[in-house]
Chains A and B, each alone.
Chain A
Amino acid sequence: MARLIVLGGGVSGHTAATFAAKWLGSAHEVVVVTPNAKWNWIPSNIWVGVGQMSKEEVTFDLAPVYAKAGITYKQAKAVSLNPAGNESSDKPFVTIEFTEEGRAGESENIEYDYVINATGPKLNFGATPGLGLGDKLGEYTVSVCTPDHATHAADELKKCIKKMKAGERQKFLIGTGHGLCTCQGAAFEYIFNIEHELKKAGVRDMADLKWISNESFLGDFGVGGLHMKSMGFAVSSKIFAESLFTERNVDWIIGAHVNKVEAGKVHYELLDGDMGEEEFDFSMLIPPFAGVGLKAYGKDSADITDTIFAPNGFLKVDANYGAGAYENWKASDWPQTYQNPTYANMFACGIAFAPPHPISKPMKSPNGTPIGPTPPRTGMPSGIIGKTVAHSICDRILKGEDAPLHEASMAHMGAACVASAGKGLFNGTAAAMTIYPVVPDFDKYPGTGRDTEYTFGEIGLAGHWIKHILHHLFMHKAQLRVGWTLIPE
C-alpha cells in the first residue's frame, strides 16, 4: 500500500487529493495535511468583502467531505520535509504540527511514498511596514484574502457608507501593498464591486476611488497584459482597463511600490523614482506572496531547504530557473510536470511551485527598487495542475515507477477570469475574460504572444451569470456532490 501526502487543502491541493483518492481507491492511502477546518472558494471572498455574501456561503467543513472520499485528514500544518528519511530510517517523512482544537501544538512524523506541496501562499503582510506583521494583517488596511478578512472589510465598508450618508466624503484606495505583489485581478474586482455598492447605496458622489498598483501599465494583471479580440481588433488590456476606470470615474497610480502604511496614509515609490503619499479612509491592499516557509532536512539532519525550495520559499520544480534577462525568456521555461528535480517523489501544484521568472517584464526604479508583478497562478491553472500531478502520481503507484508523467504547462494552458462589479442578476456588469495561453509564447504567436481567437474580454450581465454559476459549481464540485468529476477545473 502506497501513501500520498498532500500538503495544503486549498484550491489546488483539494483537487489533487480528491482525484487521487478516487483513482487510487481504498488499496492506497491519501492523506491531506492542512491547517484549516473549512475549504474556501476564495474568488467569492470579493462578494463577502462588500457584504453581498456571508462567510458561511463561501466555505464548508472539510472533515465530512474527506471522510466520504476515504481521505485521511490531519488538521495540521506541515513544518518540514525529510525526503531521504533520517538517521534511523530511509523512509521519507513530513513533520506536521496540529492546529485542531484539543491537539494544537502536538507534532507527528508521517511517512510517505509521494508528497505534493500545495501549501499556497504565505500572505506576507510583514513585507511592508504598517501593512501587517508576518502573515497577520495590520490595523490600518483591510484584506479580502480570507473569509474572515473579507467579513471585516465588509464591516469597515458599511461604516464608510454610513459616514457618506451623513455627509462626510470618503477616500478609497485599493490595489497592491508592495512592489512585488501578484493577484491584481482580485483587487481590480474588489474596487469595481465597491464602486457598484456605493452607487447602490446612493453615495457614489461622496466617494473618491483610487487604484494603486505595481503594474507598469494599467491592465498588466501580472501577465504582461493581453490583447483581446474586440470588434475585429486585437485590443490591449491597457485600453480595456483605462476605459473601465474612466467610465466608472476611478483614478489610478501605477508602477508603485507601497513602502509604508500608516493610519490613513500610504507612502510609495514610483518606477521613475519619485516618492509619494496617498491618504485614505478605506484601503484594501493585497499583500505580497511568499512560500509558507517549510524547511527540509537531509538524512544527517543537515538543513537542505535551499536545495528543495527557491529563495522565495516556493518548491523548485522542472522549470528553467536560469533563463536570465527578459529577452531570453521562453515559453518552455515554464514547468510541465511539477516534479522536484532532486526528489522524484516530490511535486508541487498551485501557488506553491516556484515559477521560473515573472510573466510581466521586471522593472526597477532608479533607486534600484524592483517594482513589477510576480506571476499569478489563478484558480483554473491551480486546479488543472493539481489534477495533472495527481494523475502522474496515481499512474506511478498503479502502473509502476516508470510510468510517464502527465504535463500541464502554463504556456499551453488557458485561464478564464470573471471580474464582477456587483452581484445582481439584472444589474451590475462583469468583465468576463479568457486568456490563452496564460504564459505568452512569442515564437508561436508573434506580436501579442497569445492566440487572439481564445483571448477575449467583454463587459456585461452574462459575466455575472457565469460568476454565479462558477460559485455554485465549484462549491458543488469541492464537496464531491453528484457529478463532481464532470465539472472542469
Chain B
Amino acid sequence: MAQKHGEENIKAYSKNFTTMTPGPFAKWLRTNLIFQFIRFIVINIKMLVVVGKGH
C-alpha cells in the first residue's frame, strides 16, 4: 500500500475533493531539521518585521 500522506482522505465530489494535499517531499521538509532551522530564522525575521510595522 502506498504511504499515507493525506491524499487517501479525499472523497470524490465531497467537500474536500477540490483541495490539495502535500506529497512526501513537502511533508519531509516539515520535519527536516536543517530546512526547519533555516525556516525558523526566516519566519522569525518576518515576524519581527511585521511586529515592527505595528509599532
Contact = CB atoms under 8 A, between A and B. Distances in A.
Contacts of A463: 43
Nearest to A457: B43
B50 A434 contact: yes
Given A243-B20, A462-B37, A489-B55, 7 more contacts: A249-B6, A384-B54, A415-B50, A416-B50, A426-B33, A429-B31, A436-B50
Given A432-B43, A462-B36, A252 B54 contact: no
Interface in B31-55: 31, 33, 35-37, 39-40, 43-44, 46-55
A482 B55 CA distance: 22
Contacts of A456: 46
B43 A246 contact: no
Interface stretch (A125-133, A304-312, A347-355, A406-414): A406-414
A133 B15 CA distance: 35
Contacts of B19: 239, 242-243, 245-246
Interface in A409-429: 412-416, 426-427, 429
Chain A interface residue number, banded: 35 or more
A79 interface: no
Contacts of B9: 246-247, 249
B55 A384 contact: yes
B51 A416 contact: yes
Contacts of A432: 43, 47
Nearest 8 interchain pairs by C-beta: A247-B6, A414-B50, A413-B54, A242-B19, A462-B40, A462-B39, A460-B30, A461-B36
Interface in A438-489: 454, 456, 458-463, 465-466, 488-489
A363 interface: no
A136 interface: no
A414 B19 CA distance: 27
A381 interface: yes
Contact of B44 (A249, A460, A461, A466): A466
A interface secondary structure, majority: mixed
B43 A426 contact: no
Interface residues of B, number: 32
B52 to A, nearest CB: 8
20 contacts: A239-B19, A242-B18, A242-B19, A246-B10, A247-B9, A408-B55, A414-B51, A414-B53, A415-B54, A429-B31, A436-B50, A454-B49, A456-B46, A460-B36, A460-B39, A461-B30, A465-B36, A466-B43, A488-B48, A489-B55
Given A243-B22, A432-B43, A461 B54 contact: no
B43 A461 contact: no
A294 B35 CA distance: 51
Contact of A381 (B16, B37, B54): B54
B53 A460 contact: no
Contacts of B43: 432, 458, 462-463, 466
B50 to A, nearest CB: 4
A252 B31 contact: no
Contacts of A434: 46-47, 50
A381 B36 CA distance: 27
A466 B47 contact: yes
B interface secondary structure, majority: helix
A245 B9 CA distance: 10
A165 interface: no
Contact of A248 (B6, B46, B52): B6
Given A239-B20, A456-B46, A488-B48, A246 B53 contact: no
A414 B52 CA distance: 9
Given A458-B43, A460-B29, A462-B40, A247 B5 contact: yes
A414 B31 contact: no
Given A426-B31, A462-B37, A489 B49 contact: no
Contact of B40 (A248, A249, A466, A488): A466
Contacts of A416: 47, 50-51
Contact of B15 (A252, A380, A454): A252
Nearest to A247: B6
A489 B39 CA distance: 22
Contacts of A436: 50, 53
B22 A247 contact: yes
A435 B47 CA distance: 9
A205 B29 CA distance: 25
A429 B29 CA distance: 11
Nearest to A455: B50
A234 to B, nearest CB: 15
A408 B37 contact: no
Contacts of A489: 51, 55
Contacts of B6: 243, 246-249
Given A246-B21, A248-B6, A461 B31 contact: yes
Contacts of B48: 488
A412 B51 CA distance: 11
B37 to A, nearest CB: 7
A434 B10 CA distance: 28
